[in-house]
Structure 1
């Protein structure tokens, strides 16, 4: 017999206590860790699924994401957890579907999450959207000594100091977040005995970047973990490398998050930096018209794409649409020839430019005429999407 699930927002303190216990079991968290996390997110941003009592839940993070130089409102989904005795019962997909319907009524264009399992989220209409890579290099192999810019320590560390610099890099980076406050707080919140350091790169009045990092013991060596970074000039990039290389007497390895094709490594004399981890995050188009119209497009093209989209959950995304692009902007009207056919999952990696339309057709994610493939290739041309944050 299928359980009758009830979806709700936060109502009683015991709701969050029950969810905290579930999340601690799901994510191997201590009670202190779950309390810190829940306080950072805010109880009003949790959603619950029940069978008489809470059997699972998730967190929603309202923020934005940069696509083609334009900010698109986005809701991140995090901390999806179901009590072990209810896993496999349909509780997780019911929780996701209810959340997506709620976000659709709020006219949220897109949603992003990091999957523990792709199968569940594909059932909810998500598909791979972009990358987060962890890179590593030995400090001895950096071999950059000259430091063209000064560094200014930020004591005590305060994330407000870094916001403007971050936004300058974010709007130029395909897939970057316009961060929720909880993500900023997580960047500077130390764990256990950890100390977090922050430095502006360049003059204090006109900085050209920053670095936020922590240091960790690892077996017989030590690691400098870059938690966040911005470089807005060649001089800032050179200073970044010189600064981390100057830790070589005590630090053996440096780790940082970047894209699969990392421009920072162009500054290095040899290909000694390696990708340690490569994760793909997933995206879901919630409001098709808003998502396509709010995104930026290559400024030099004028093209028209006739889409036919299938969405089993959100009826407003079903049907034929014409996407007209000119001067870097898109306009959507209903109707058209339906020359490029795909479901809502297939739209995600097309929207983000993670894969070309030809790649997606080979993977069975869409079916299109040659004319539509050419138009889609022009419209969704872009660099490989990535972000620096895990949530």
Structure 2
């Protein structure tokens, strides 16, 4: 098996492999036949030169507590049915990680169709992108605030929308920056997202927005799909939710992805929400030293801990490390010898993403320690808090 970056001559075969793997529509998207900036396509070929597997490295950046961290987010992994179970995906992901590290990536996320092969390659569950349904009539309606104005957005407003998204996302963990070559490429033919864009402004400044798709019909099964609803003030959030609630007579259900603990979610009656879809996402470091130093850390957190890390796919991560956190920054440096704490790369991913504490990681067999050693000292690696994604890729 030979793994290399795909060229434009390989894209027809790559598209067909993806179409078969994911049951895609036979109608091709234009970007599948051309080179796209901001991503790297990898392919695995058998001895006869036939493409038997593919994977894509998306050159994203993710926000981690106020700092943008270079990411290699993985998409489009597919293996021909005749080649499955032969290590094709592992070979692809090994090459992808090496290439991602070479270009400066620090971390990686993906949405698996099946988790086991990615666990075997060092990714571990970081969280769930949850899509919920709410009764539109149950959304609270408030008297409009006198200092706020609501209007339909235009193409000219998209820059302000991107800025507001960044104000919400940048101090969280895991959220995409939505900036860079890849996003610029798809934004070149600028158009409004979905069917509508609703803006809430205060003295001409954008303080909230919602993008939505009207859907079909106006009967009992009609659904208003809200692709995104974000606000930077409680008043703007109430205004947005009130606008969504005004659809109750023709769209009995509103469907959206709530962002934990943000202004809009604190207005929604989420106790009455029904899960429509749950998309598990997984995380892993590409380069652990970069992953630690590039992100932001809580300014009140200080500490030092040594641990031994094992990464079977990325040997540059394997070794004994010292984590030092202070004054909103952190550093991971190599030290000699062994350590009382022995951490698997999947355990590192769980802690880094705030998805588990050290005792739980030890119970999962991803952190080993002597009986007299308290594993909770490695909670220092989890001090940044829980990560969340709002984009599916």
Q: What's the TM-score, normalizing by structure 2?
A: 0.88
Partner residue, 1:198:
197
CA contact (8 A) 1:70 1:296 kept: yes
Q: Which runs of 5 or more structure 1 residues have no equivalent in the other structure? A: none
1:272 offset after TM fit, Å? 1.9
Partner residue, 2:257:
257
Partner residue, 1:176:
175
CA pair 39-133 structure 1, distance change in 2 beyond 3 A: farther
Match of 1:26 among 16, 21, 30: 21
SS at match of 1:247: coil
Partner residue, 2:105:
108
Partner residue, 1:62:
59
Partners of 2:125 and 2:75 lie apart in 1 by: 16
Partners of 1:341 and 1:330 lie apart in 2 by: 20
Aligned counterparts, 1:120-199, within 5 A: 120-148=117-145, 149-156=148-155, 159-179=158-178, 182=182, 185=186, 195-199=194-198
Aligned counterparts, 1:352-371, within 5 A: 352-368=353-369
CA contact (8 A) 1:223 1:255 kept: yes
CA contact (8 A) 1:197 1:214 kept: yes
Partners of 1:155 and 1:301 lie apart in 2 by: 43
Partners of 1:126 and 1:270 lie apart in 2 by: 30
Q: CA offsets, 1:209-236, max 9 Å, x none?
A: 2111112238842111111232111011
1:323 offset after TM fit, Å? 0.6
Partner residue, 2:291:
291
> Higher mean Cα deviation, 303-312 or 265-274?
265-274
Partners of 1:310 and 1:189 lie apart in 2 by: 45
1:250 offset after TM fit, Å? 0.7
Partners of 2:259 and 2:92 lie apart in 1 by: 31
1:150 offset after TM fit, Å? 1.9
Partners of 1:320 and 1:126 lie apart in 2 by: 20
Partners of 1:265 and 1:89 lie apart in 2 by: 45
Aligned counterparts, 1:329-340, within 5 A: 329-335=329-335, 338-340=339-341
Q: CA offsets, 1:42-84, max 9 Å, x none?
A: 5963221112122221222111112233221111111111222
| Residues 1:47 and 2:42 aligned together | yes
Partners of 1:214 and 1:208 lie apart in 2 by: 21
Q: CA offsets, 1:278-310, max 9 Å, x none?
A: 332111111111111112222112211111101
Partners of 2:374 and 2:328 lie apart in 1 by: 19
Partners of 1:146 and 1:40 lie apart in 2 by: 51
CA contact (8 A) 2:38 2:182 kept: no
SS at match of 1:217: coil
> Higher mean Cα deviation, 270-279 or 229-238?
270-279
> Higher mean Cα deviation, 237-246 or 353-362?
353-362
Q: Alpha carbon RMSD of aligned pairs, Å? A: 2.8
SS at match of 2:228: strand
| Residues 1:6 and 2:2 aligned together | yes
| Residues 1:119 and 2:91 aligned together | no
1:244 offset after TM fit, Å? 0.3
CA pair 221-10 structure 1, distance change in 2 beyond 3 A: same
1:273 offset after TM fit, Å? 2.4
Q: CA offsets, 1:346-371, max 9 Å, x none?
A: 11010011111122122222124676
Partners of 1:157 and 1:139 lie apart in 2 by: 29
SS at match of 1:32: coil
CA contact (8 A) 2:39 2:56 kept: no
Matched residues, number = 383
Partners of 1:140 and 1:39 lie apart in 2 by: 46
Q: CA offsets, 1:305-358, max 9 Å, x none?
A: 111101112222111111111111102221166232111111101001111112
CA contact (8 A) 1:297 1:379 kept: no
| Residues 1:73 and 2:70 aligned together | yes
Partners of 1:269 and 1:95 lie apart in 2 by: 44
1:264 offset after TM fit, Å? 3.3
Aligned counterparts, 1:268-279, within 5 A: 268=268, 271-279=271-279
Partners of 1:379 and 1:315 lie apart in 2 by: 20
Q: What's the TM-score, normalizing by structure 1?
A: 0.88
> Higher mean Cα deviation, 128-137 or 267-276?
267-276
